[in-house]
Each structure stands twice: as structure tokens, then as C-alpha cells.
Amino acid sequence: MEILNLIIIFITISIKNIYAQNNSNEECIYINKILKKEPSYDCCHYDGITCLNGHVTIIYLFDISYSGSIPIELGNLINLENIYLLGANLIGPIPSELGKLSNLVNLNIQGFNINGPIPNELGSLFKLERLCFLNTNLTGSIPSSLGNLTKLKELKLSNNQLSGVIPSGLGNLLNLKSLEIQENNFSGNIPPELGNLSNLKILEINGNNFNGTIPPELGNLSNLEILYLSRNNLSGSIPKEIKKLNTKLHISNNPLLETESNNNSVLIILFIGVIFLILATGIIISYKKTKKKIIEEEIANRNKNIISFGSKNHPPVCIT
């Protein structure tokens, strides 16, 4: 009898202990996966995580060693306002479930091994002000649903493998200050609707496959400070409306574009052409090597900057 009582008491205490260990924040379970902590760990105590009334509001994790995919269950943490997730070993797609995070203001995911498309569902994040997928390996096109994100101030998708045309709906993003989609494989025309983005300061679309003429509507961007159009397949001449802007204009390496220096002399062009052909092989080989190096260095520097800039209460903007 005594022994039975003891056993019952022992079992009761054990169950209590299990419950005591389990009364931690349920929202932490999937974050703990990324943090490599045991499931019962209260992630709100972790330096890069902020909670409010027991709900996770900020994930601010740079340089994490976690290797695996982004847990789709993060889409259930409805109180999330900021996600900064940077890790070389993050693998796989950006979960479409993140489209459920209706309170999200900043979404910044970086990592070479992030691939797949930009989920359509992100077009329902109506509070979003910054959307940054830099130096990832995303493919597919920009979903036209992103044209619904009218609070967006920064859209940064540079250094990916994105393709297709730029949805004209991006011309609806009247709060946009920075549109950076360089070093991808976008094609088609530059939509004239971008001329409606009156707050735009930075437009970087260099290193793509855009063709057609430069729309004169871009001359309406009176706040534009930087315009990078280099390394595309643009043709025609530079509209006078754009020359009037007080903007740093980069247009090199658009072979079909008429610039003043292009008009000088056919002979000079032929001469340069012959020399170029002779050197082409060597240049291409060394260019490929140095470009890779430069991008790697840039990314390394950038990551350093990001790490030294922010704190979880003052998250940095996505630095390009």
C-alpha cells in the first residue's frame, strides 16, 4: 500500500514537472529550431528575439548557423512586425505562409541558398514598408500582387536570378523611395508607370536584360538621386527630360543606346570593335573572375555593416 502511494505521488510530481517545463511560450517552438535550443526554451529571453505580452514581435537574427529551411510555422506568429533573418545555411524557399503575417512591417531575408519564387501571398502584407531579399538565389518573376503594397518604401531584390517583366503595378507604390533590382535577368521594357513614383530616390536596374527605349516619364522623378541603367539592352537616345534631372546617371554598356560619344565616328567604333574582338576572350575570362570576387567581397562587407549597424530595437534598413 505504502509503495503504491509513493509511486502515485512520484508520478504526480513528474507530470507537474513536465507541465512546469511546458508553460513556456508556445510561439517559441519553431524559433527554437532556428536558435538550436530545446523546444521548452523561452525564446523571449534570447538577445535577437523581442516579445510583447508573450507574443513574438521581432526576429532579428544575423549570421545564424542554423542550417535548414525557414519554418513555415513562422506564418502563425501573427504578432510579428519585423523579420531579419540572415544565414548562409538557410536553405529552400521563402514560405508562402509568411503572407499571413498581416502586422509585418519589415521582411528581410538573406542567404545564398534561399531559392524558389517570391510568393504571391506576400502581396497581402499591407503594412509592409521594407521588402528585401538580397543576395539570395530566387527565381521566377516579381508577382504583380506586390503592386498592392502601397506602404512600401524599399523594394530590394538585387543579386538574384529573377526574370520576366516588371509589373506596371509597381507604379502604384507611391511611397517607394528605393527600387533596387539590379543583377538579375529581368527583361522587357522599363514600365513608364515608374515615372509615377514621385518619392523615388534610388532606381537601380543595372545588370539585367531590359530592352526598348528609356521612358521619358522617368523625367518626372524629381526626387531621384541615383539612376543606374547600365548593362542592359536599352536602345534609342537618352530622353531630354532625364538629362534635366539632377541625378547621377549610369548608362554604360547598353550597346544600342545612342550617346554623344557613340555618334562620333563609325571608323573609331570599327577600330575599337576589332581591338575588342582580339581582347574579348581574355577580358571575359578575367571579368568573370573579378566580378565573382567583387561580389563576394561586397557581400562580406555588407554583412559586416549590417551586423555593426543595428540592434534589435533599431533595426537597420536593408543596406545595399
Ligand X SMILES: *[C@@H]1O[C@H](CO)[C@@H](O)[C@H](O)[C@H]1NC(C)=O
Grid cell digits, residue 154: 524599399
Decide: is 99 part of the binding site for ligand X (CB under 6 A). Answer: no
**DSSP 8-state class, residue 231:** S
C-alpha cell at 115: 531559392
Site string for ligand X, 269-308 (x = CB under 6 A): ----------------------------------------
List the one residue from 100, 112, 127, 237 that touches ligand X (CB under 6 A): 112
Tell me the closest approach of the beta carbon of residue 24 to ligand X, in angstroms.
9
Nearest approach in angstroms of CB 284 to ligand X is: 14
Strands 257-258 and 154-156, sheet pairing: unpaired
Burial letters 111-141, b for 16+ CB under 10 A, else e: beebbeebbebbbebeebbbbbbbbbebbbb
Distance in Å, CB of 216 to ligand X, minimum: 4
Q: Rounded to the nearest whole angstrom, what is the least distance from the CB of residue 46 to ligand X in the complex? A: 18
Q: Is 76 helix (H, G, I), strand (E, B) or coil?
A: helix
Judged by CB under 6 A, the stretch of 45-53, 138-146, 260-268, 281-289 that binds ligand X is 138-146
Q: Per CB under 6 A, which of residues 177..236 are in contact with ligand X?
A: 185, 187, 192-193, 195-196, 209, 211-212, 216-217, 219-220, 233
Which segment (54-62, 65-73, 110-118, 265-273) binds ligand X by CB under 6 A?
A: 110-118
Q: How far is CA 180 from the centre of its chain?
A: 9
From the list 145, 158, 178, 230, which residue makes contact with ligand X (rule: CB under 6 A)?
145
Which residue lies nearer to ligand X by CB, 22 or 290?
22
Amino acid of residue 225: E
Note whether 148 and 125 are within 8 A (CB). Answer: no
Supply the minimum distance, in Å, between the C-beta of residue 299 and ligand X. Answer: 11
Task: Give the E-state strand segments of the chain in sequence order.
Answer: 49-52, 55-62, 82-86, 106-110, 115-116, 130-132, 137-138, 154-156, 163-164, 178-180, 185-188, 202-204, 209-213, 226-228, 233-237, 248-250, 257-258
- Contact footprint for ligand X (CB under 6 A): 18-19, 22, 112-113, 115, 123, 137, 139, 144-145, 147-148, 163, 169, 171, 185, 187, 192-193, 195-196, 209, 211-212, 216-217, 219-220, 233, 241
